[in-house]
């Protein structure tokens, strides 16, 4: 009985320890799968920013001449601007996509113009598809 309890407890603890590991694995996997060009550009942006900081630091430490610092910094700044522009383009395109999706959804949700047929006998307003009045059962004119 004690043995069984130990096995159950051990299994439970093991499960509790391992569960987050498996969850994290699948999260990482889906993150990789869902990585878009935008994500890559964001990462590139961070890398370039880091490089500029390193460059400034090395220049401050005297490892880099003023001329080299200025030249490389100019190159990095150009790269950075290009990446920002690409991110901007993607975001604009996504906005347009979202706009189109919203417009399509709006039109789909619009009720189709309801043609009602009024009953010749009681005057009840019936949907156009009805052949007989929903109120009194009289045949509707086609
Ligand atoms: Zn009727």
Domain extents for the chain? 36-108
Q: How far is the CA of 114 from the centre of ligand 1 (A)?
A: 18
Q: How far is the CA of 109 from the centre of ligand 1 (A)?
A: 30
E-assigned strand segments in 20-114: none
HSE-up of residue 77 (Cα within 13 Å, Cβ side): 7
Report whether pLDDT(129) > 90. no
Q: How far is the CA of 140 from the centre of ligand 1 (A)?
A: 8
pLDDT class for 13, splitting at 50, 70, 90? low
**Mind listing the pLDDT tens digit for each residue in 35-90?**
788 889 999 999 999 999 999 999 999 999 999 999 999 999 999 999 999 999 88
Please indicate, yes or no, whether the overall pTM of this predicted structure exceeds 0.85. Answer: no
Q: How far is the CA of 141 from the centre of ligand 1 (A)?
A: 11
Residues 6+ away with beta carbon under 8 Å from 44: 83
Output the pLDDT for position 103. 81
The mean per-residue pLDDT over the stretch 107-134 comes to 82
Of 136 and 26, which is predicted with more confidence?
136
Q: Which two tokens stand for residue 114?
A: 């309801």
Report whether pLDDT(32) > 60. no
Q: How far is the CA of 51 from the centre of ligand 1 (A)?
A: 80
């Amino acid at each position: 009985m004690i043995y069984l309890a130990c096995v159950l407890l051990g299994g439970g603890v093991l499960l509790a320890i391992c569960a987050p590991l498996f969850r994290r694995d699948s999260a990482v996997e889906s993150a990789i799968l869902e990585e878009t060009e935008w994500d890559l550009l964001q990462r590139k942006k961070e890398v370039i920013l880091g490089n500029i900081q390193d460059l400034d630091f090395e220049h401050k430490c005297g490892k880099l001449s003023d001329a080299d610092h200025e030249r490389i910094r100019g190159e990095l700044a150009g790269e950075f601007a290009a990446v920002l522009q690409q991110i901007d383009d993607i975001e604009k395109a996504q906005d347009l996509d979202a706009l189109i999706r919203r417009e399509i959804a709006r039109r789909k949700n619009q009720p189709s113009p309801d043609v009602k047929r009024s009953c010749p006998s009681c005057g009840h307003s019936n949907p156009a598809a009805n052949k007989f009045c929903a109120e009194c059962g009289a045949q509707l004119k086609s």
